[in-house]
Structure 1
Amino acid sequence: MSVEQVNPSTGMPVVTTLAAAATYYSIAPGVSLNVRSGPGTGYPVVRTLPEGARVAIHCQTPGTRVTGPYGTTTIWDNIASGQYISDAYVNTGSDGYIRPRCS
């Protein structure tokens, strides 16, 4: 999807792709990461992200405490419907919440 606007200085169209507005975060180097059906290690694994994966985080929620390459946290990142990964494995540049809480 794209939105077309006109640059007032030049009168030329400017196209912005909305998909490009999403921010993607890198998974820790050398890690294949389990994606779980809920925010905790007790939830079933629904798939595994390969090494070098990048993810968009839709929302974040508290869950099981996990220690990983980026510290120890209870924050879990929702990356798709029914798919969660521990924030301890995601390079968000923050130790806290960077996205809204999941409802």
Structure 2
Amino acid sequence: MGGVADAESLSTAALKTYPIAPGTSVNVRSGPGTHYPIVRTLPAGSSVPIYCQCPGETVSGYYGTTTIWDNIANGQFVSDAYVKTGSDGYVAGRCA
């Protein structure tokens, strides 16, 4: 039975979401920088999964200044400066 619980724990961990900055709507870009096109906007109060992270353009936001960008879906990135991860560093693997 331990194997089943372990698989469930891994599955749950993979689906963890992180809240975006309070009272803020955040632009989702097609790449890790503000020069990439906006593909959608997250409304205030949203939470996002982080599939992987990569370095990109420096952004100053609610949670400080960072070069880390979070991949929240295929071809969709938000600056980590607007995502509450509880860390100033990487909390997910690097994007390939």
Give the TM-score normalised by structure 1: 0.82
Question: Which segment is superposed worse, 38-47 or 19-28?
Answer: 19-28
Helix, strand or coil at the partner of 2:58: strand
Which residue in the other structure is 2:37 paired with?
Answer: 44
Larger helix proportion, structure 1 or 2? 2
Q: Distance in 1 between matches of 2:37 and 2:43?
A: 18
The question of 1:20 aligning with 2:29 is answered: no
Helix, strand or coil at the partner of 1:67: strand
What's the C-alpha RMSD, in Å, of the aligned pairs?
1.9
Q: Which runs of 5+ in 2 are unaligned?
A: none
Match of 1:29 among 15, 22, 27: 22
Q: Structure 1 stretches (4+) deviating beyond 3 angstroms?
A: 16-21
Q: Distance in 1 between matches of 2:41 and 2:10?
A: 27
Which is greater in Rg? Answer: 1
Which residue in the other structure is 1:72 paired with?
Answer: 65
Letter in 1 for 2:31: G
* Aligned-pair identity (%): 64
Q: CA deviation at 1:96?
A: 0.4
| 1:53-84 deviation per Cα after TM superposition (whole angstroms, max 9, x unaligned) | 00000000000000001000000000000000
Residue 57 to residue 29, structure 1, CA distance change in 2 (3 Å): same
Give the TM-score normalised by structure 2: 0.88
Structure of greater relative contact order (alpha carbons < 8 Å, 6+ residues apart): 2
Q: Distance in 1 between matches of 2:12 and 2:93?
A: 20
Residue 18 to residue 99, structure 1, CA distance change in 2 (3 Å): closer
